[in-house]
Amino acid sequence: MVTPKKGDYASMPLSDEGRKAADAWDPAKDERDGNACRAYGGAAIMRMPTRLHITWQDANALKIETDAGMQTRILRFGGSGDLAITDAAPSWQGNSKASWEFLGNVAVARGGGGQGQNGGGGGAAANAPQAPRFGSLKIVTDRLKPGYLRRNGVPYSGNTVVTEHFDRQTEKNGDVWITVTTIVEDPTNLTGLYITSSGFKREPDGAKWHPTPCSAQ
């Protein structure tokens, strides 16, 4: 991945404070200060050229691992340790709360360990027939350490809230894709919403999985 040049943020809705911070970007200082992962935080990691490994950590939490930066995201559905994580210190991946949003149905907060059609689970009577359901996985993340929306120092603050929608599509040729739409809200560094979309194609195995550490350069 080619890092944009310092000051290349014309398409970003940056505030004056955000532009000032971007103009002061110093990747060597980030490396020295132990902040090489600033561009791999929860507001930007899905924009990286990375592969994802997605598994159920338990009945109420999805785990997403990335090979770029070797980051781990935990997406918690309602009723699974929310109070404990809310009081935790800010981190690169923050506190992510997940819920299923089905078309034509009320959103279901509990994950149910992937039970039910399309991994939804929860919210239906035990013996009710399972009709096909379609919708998105919604994730809201806060308690993030300040990081970068781009590798060239375009900042987001600790007040940032990130909302994501994961949508799964199957092409006619059998290819399976996940599209991640990301909405970043940062009252400190942005003058409006920063919205992006990224696509990930399912691979047959982990042969191309190549973990690499964070780099600020």
Query: Residues 17-73: pLDDT tens digits?
Result: 999 999 999 999 999 999 999 999 999 999 999 999 999 999 999 999 999 999 999
The Cα-based distances of 163 to 13, 52, 180 in angstroms read 17, 18, 10
Statement: residue 1 has pLDDT above 80: no
Q: What's the whole-model pTM score? A: 0.84
Q: Work out the mean pLDDT of the chain and round it to a whole number.
A: 88
Residue 185 CB contacts under 8 Å (≥ 6 apart), including other chains: 160, 161, 162, 163, 193
Query: Residues 208-217: pLDDT tens digits?
Result: 999 999 999 8
The Cα-based distances of 146 to 12, 24, 73, 153, 208 in angstroms read 17, 15, 16, 11, 30
Helix (H, G, I), strand (E, B) or coil at 27: helix
- Report, as an integer, the average pLDDT of 160-187: 98
- CA dist 14 and 191 (Å) reads 6
